[in-house]
């Protein structure tokens, strides 16, 4: 019995696959796909000194202490405390869709629960690490590093933005809306520091911002208000845990800039 030859993939499908591979191989989703910048607040002591270093860290802004005494003391710590996440410096959401679906009051009511969620995911990342360097403690201690986190920006996912992108995608082969309409996508920015307990000096400070990922086929995550921020927080928690236990010269990579399907 002979079988007919398999159908040839369409030219557009091949182009989309090539685009996905190209995006995933780029230096960073933030600088190539989204052109993201983040401006830390006065929450960080060295906010003006943060720099990007993709050879070492996945975060947009990074500052490492050069004080050998403080670093030596921090290196001896094998415990870590995740402080409650603060949101005093969270900035207004001035995105286009925010004027349609939610106001400042709505967002303020949701910030406490979001801050608790963020802390729980950072605690979880350190407790469930495959090769943990630190034991998570429930209170500050003289032999425990402290991780201070601040929510800097939050633009929830919106149905208006999701539907707008879907309409554009319909006419651009499921790609144009995701690329061209960034201002309708959810986004989150965070800043934080890791503090040595005895000197109370930071050994590391960072800031990062993420938009909802560029999705090639379909995103269920975009249909939930908390979809983007929950995904970003889990990635940040995992990245910080890996960065703090990384060996000298070891690189901690950022997540892929594009996905086929986003749950």
CATH code of the domain in which 219 resides: 3.40.50
Give the pLDDT of residue 261. Answer: 61
Higher pLDDT: 231 or 195? It is: 195
The domain in which residue 113 lies consists of 41-157+187-246
Is position 129 within any domain? yes
The pLDDT of residue 222 is above 90:
no
Number of domains within the chain: 1
Number of H helices, E strands in the chain: 8, 8
Is position 66 within any domain? yes
The pLDDT of residue 25 is above 90:
no
Is position 141 within any domain? yes
Task: Give the pairing of strands 187-195 and 144-155.
Answer: antiparallel
Is position 233 within any domain? yes
State the burial class of residue 64 (Cβ atoms within 10 Å of its Cβ: 0-12, 13-18, 19+): middle
The pLDDT of residue 86 is above 50:
yes
Cα–Cα distance measured from residue 260 to residue 81, given in angstroms and rounded to the nearest whole number: 36
Is position 256 within any domain? no
Is position 11 within any domain? no
pLDDT above 90 as % of the chain: 53
Residue with tokens 């019995």: 1
Whole-model pTM: value is 0.80
Least confident piece of the model among 77-81, 105-109, 175-179: 175-179
Please, what is the average pLDDT of the chain?
Answer: 80
- The predicted model gives 119-141 an average pLDDT of 97
Give the pLDDT of residue 167. Answer: 59
- The predicted model gives 197-225 an average pLDDT of 82
Cα–Cα distance measured from residue 157 to residue 257, given in angstroms and rounded to the nearest whole number: 18
The pLDDT of residue 240 is above 50:
yes
Is position 52 within any domain? yes
pLDDT above 70 as % of the chain: 69
Is position 152 within any domain? yes
* Nearest-5° Cα angle at 180, 217 to 25: 60
């Amino acid at each position: 019995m002979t079988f007919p030859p398999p159908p040839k993939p369409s030219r557009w499908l091949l182009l989309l696959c090539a685009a996905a591979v190209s995006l995933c191989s780029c230096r960073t989703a933030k600088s190539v796909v989204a052109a993201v910048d983040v401006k830390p607040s006065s929450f960080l002591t060295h906010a003006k000194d943060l720099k990007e270093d993709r050879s070492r860290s996945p975060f947009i802004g990074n500052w490492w202490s050069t004080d050998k005494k403080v670093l030596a003391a921090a290196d001896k710590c094998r415990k870590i405390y995740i402080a409650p996440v603060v949101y005093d410096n969270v900035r207004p959401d001035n995105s286009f869709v925010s004027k349609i679906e939610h106001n400042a009051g709505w967002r303020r009511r949701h910030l406490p629960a979001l801050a608790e969620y963020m802390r729980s995911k950072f605690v979880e990342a350190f407790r469930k690490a495959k090769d943990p360097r630190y034991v998570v403690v429930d209170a500050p201690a003289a032999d425990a590093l402290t991780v201070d986190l601040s929510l800097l920006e939050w633009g929830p996912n919106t149905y208006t933005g999701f539907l707008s992108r879907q309409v554009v995608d319909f006419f651009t082969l499921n790609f144009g809306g995701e690329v061209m309409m960034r201002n309708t996508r959810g986004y989150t920015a965070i800043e934080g520091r890791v503090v040595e307990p005895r000197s109370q000096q930071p050994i590391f400070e960072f800031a990062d911002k993420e938009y909802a990922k560029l999705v090639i086929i379909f995103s269920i995550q975009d249909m939930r208000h908390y979809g983007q921020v929950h995904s970003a927080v889990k990635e940040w928690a995992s990245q910080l845990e890996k960065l703090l236990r990384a060996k000298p010269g070891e690189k901690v990579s950022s997540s892929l800039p594009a996905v086929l399907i986003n749950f």
